[in-house]
Amino acid sequence: MRLTGPHLLPVAMCFGSFAWSFVFVSQPFHIQRISTTDPAATLRWTGWILGITSLVTVVTAPVWGRYATRGNPKACCVPLVTMRHAGARA
């Protein structure tokens, strides 16, 4: 069976979500290992690192949705992915 068209995106999203679940579970241990601050500050930074992505998504999703419905949704995706990669590299 070959996945194409409308079946490919849900499968890709499922694998992406599954992969991120491992990041969310293992990242606090990596941060704790490389941290030079006390455990409370490390826990605070871990919360910020893991929580800021969801917070930014909740805040900006209505803006991007409105922008995509007014124009070309594919053209909207390019700057969004570019900013996301720039944020991940920061």
User: How far, CA to CA in Å, does 3 sit from each of 9, 14, 37, 82?
Assistant: 9, 14, 48, 27
pLDDT cut 70: percent of the chain above it: 93
54, pLDDT greater than 70: yes
Virtual CA dihedral for 16, 74, 68, 50, nearest 10 degrees?
Answer: 30
52, pLDDT greater than 60: yes
* Residue 77: per-residue pLDDT: 77
The model's confidence at residue 88, banded by pLDDT at 50, 70 and 90, is: low
Domain ranges of the chain: 7-89
31, pLDDT greater than 60: yes
